[in-house]
A and B are shown apart, each in its own frame.
Chain A
């Protein structure tokens, strides 16, 4: 699991992301949510997701091509990352489904990013001059800082997952202890009442039946 998470991070770091939309949204029980993104031909895109909280921390994920073919599909997965190159221009859909779950709603983080380095600074004119060493260094640093930001995002998500789980546990332990304490008190009192009733003389109505039996 841990090793997987590390691979997941490294995989993400290898690519320069130029255009990405990160969303964290709530997925109600028994529902399906789709997000659409237009991808140009031969451009590659990465879909990343992670379930932050809810139920067994799993979700069904589907990636559909413009012709409604399934490119990628995961059933009940917790987190993953998938990179694909668009075979043609069109609208690709990423669908998250919680249809198998009847009562737990989920919080899901999603990042749909288009890769391929275009120009890290949209304000700068694109001219085909050779970069000076300074500029090159700046670009290197830019990439490294992007990597750091990405690591931080994943760290934040993991932390959120841990925190939500902790809060959940706290609540459950609270309810469990309240129920246990009341159960203990009820059992102690009923034990005494039942024992007393065994040794108490029977009530007049019961006495009558007793006499009838004795006859």
Chain B
């Protein structure tokens, strides 16, 4: 029992550690982050917003009036998710197309001027890191070793996905290079042709002009 309690305590402390990184934005500012991920990858975003309190000069731990608008766009600029959350939230989405996903956050503040400052705690976990193993172990009743193996499997799977994505990008990049090569070739041919045509036209035109003027 005590063991359970300590492990739970440990878990809680770990979660609070994960909330560590934070930054400041103005109340009406929009902040975007880019995640380049393969397809079928889960991304978990944890965040917490604190509003600057001018009276105490610190940040209020909970600000009920503040909501955050979270928007996720996939590589084709289509909106995957667009929702308003409260001041603290956790959300996840799974990518369906590989590439750069843009995660944007802005508060639903109605301040006309830029208002006060917001402190945003943010944690973005991708792929295998997004899996909550404590939960998995409990749900599927796995032993420690089974859980370890499970983690290894997930990791290996993530690596395979990443490799497939790298192959895909390599292919795309190669196609771009080949098309660029082709286009440069055609362009230089066209340029030479233009040069020759212009030269011939200049000579012909001037010749007929001089002849008309009886200068030659």
**Residues in A lying within 8 Å of B, measured CB to CB:** 19, 21-26, 33-38, 107, 112, 114, 118-127, 132, 134-135, 138-139, 141-142, 145-146, 148-149, 152, 155-156, 159-160, 162-163, 166, 170, 173, 177, 180-181, 184-185, 188, 191-192, 195-196, 199-200
Contact: A126 with B10, CB < 8 Å? Answer: yes
Give the interface size class of chain B.
Answer: 35 or more
**Residues of chain B within 8 A of A184, CB atoms compared:** 191, 194-195, 198
Q: Are A21 and B122 in contact (CB under 8 A)?
A: yes
Please tell me which one of the listed residues B21, B124, B148, B209 contacts residue A37 in the complex, with CB atoms under 8 A apart. Answer: B21
Q: Which residues of A contact B3 (CB under 8 A)?
A: 125, 127
The docked-state distance in angstroms from the alpha carbon of A118 to that of B17 is: 12
A-B contact list, 7 entries, CB within 8 Å: A125-B3, A132-B145, A138-B152, A145-B156, A149-B158, A163-B173, A170-B180
Are B34 and A24 in touch, CB under 8 angstroms? yes
What CA separation (Å) do A119 and B7 show in the bound complex?
A: 11
Instruction: Find out whether the CB atom of A173 lies under 8 angstroms from the CB atom of B34.
Output: no
Residue of A134, A170, A173 touching B145 (CB-CB under 8 A)? A134
Q: Which of A26, A152, A191, A195 contacts B159 (CB 8 A)?
A: A152
* Distance, CA A184 to CA B198, complexed state (A): 9
Smallest beta-carbon distance B145→chain A, Å: 6
| Contact yes or no, A155 B135, CB < 8 A | no
B32 x A34 contact (CB < 8 A): no
Q: B155 contacts A35, CB within 8 Å? A: no
Bound CA–CA A36/B117 (angstroms): 15
Are A25 and B32 CB-contacts (below 8 A) given A166-B173, A199-B209? Answer: yes
Bound Cα distance A54, B24 (Å) = 23
Q: Hey, which chain A residues are within 8 Å of B130, CB to CB?
A: none
The 7 A-B residue pairs whose C-beta atoms are closest, nearest first, are A123-B134, A138-B148, A188-B198, A145-B155, A24-B34, A123-B133, A123-B137
